Amino acid sequence: MTDHRAIVEAILAGKREQFRLLVEEFQRLVSHIVFRMIPESQDREDICQEVFVKVYQNLGSFRFGSKLSTWVAQIAYNTCLTALSRKQLIIDDGFADRVEDSRPEWSASEMWRPDYRHESDDTATIVRREIDQLPPIPGTILVLFHLENMSLQQIAQVFTMPEGTIKSHLFRARKMLKERLTAKYQWEEV
């Protein structure tokens, strides 16, 4: 287990090379959030870099009142919101009924995986592909809870929402995922 306090103190003491350790540890977390929230693929890498610049610039204000991963995730989420507002895009929270799903049938979150294969039909790939088709907020909450193992309380801190709202989004995301999987793949038990 990484000693975040020691790494943060080393960075603040001028050992900037230690920041690489934080980037390596939280790169997947940041990518999950950015890839779920930002619709345009050409913006995603820039926003990921912007997140880590903000983490570095604000590291001195982190007081270990929460987990470092929660703080980094909150910076990632807020950076995405700022980027979306700059482009005047509206975030789909998943609670509006949609007639047509216009998201592409490719999976951005799979591309960072070393074993990514475009035509793969294994169960994990199918589920990831369908998660990528969920609306950004419930989909991101589902990813943070199940793939990043964040608690409901931590996710509530990231989104600055009550824990009950996070539970509702998580329930809704699971329901939408189950509906997508059963409709598309005729799976009996999802």
Cα angle 11, 15, 17; round to 5 = 95
How many domains does the structure of the chain reveal? Answer: 2
Q: What is the CATH number of the domain that holds 70?
A: 1.10.1740.10
Q: Are 66 and 141 in contact (CB under 8 A)?
A: no
pLDDT value for 104: 39
Pair 119, 130: CB distance under 8 Å? no
Q: What pLDDT, on the 0 to 100 scale, is given for residue 89?
A: 55
Average pLDDT over residues 104-109: 41
The torsion angle over the Cα atoms of residues 154, 25, 75 and 37, rounded to 10 degrees, is -90
Domain membership of residue 145 as a residue range: 98-190
**pLDDT confidence of 189, banded at 50, 70, 90?**
low
Residues 71 and 23 in one domain: yes
Q: Is residue 93 assigned to a domain?
A: no
14 falls within a domain:
yes
Which of the listed residues 24, 52, 86 is the one where a domain comes to its end? 86
Is the confidence at residue 45, as pLDDT, over 80? yes
70 and 124 assigned to the same domain:
no
Could you tell me which residue, 101 or 47, shows the higher pLDDT? Answer: 47
Model confidence at 112, in pLDDT bands (50, 70, 90)? very low
Considering the domain architecture, whether residues 109 and 77 belong to the same structural domain is answered as no
Greatest mean pLDDT among 33-47, 85-99, 132-146: 132-146
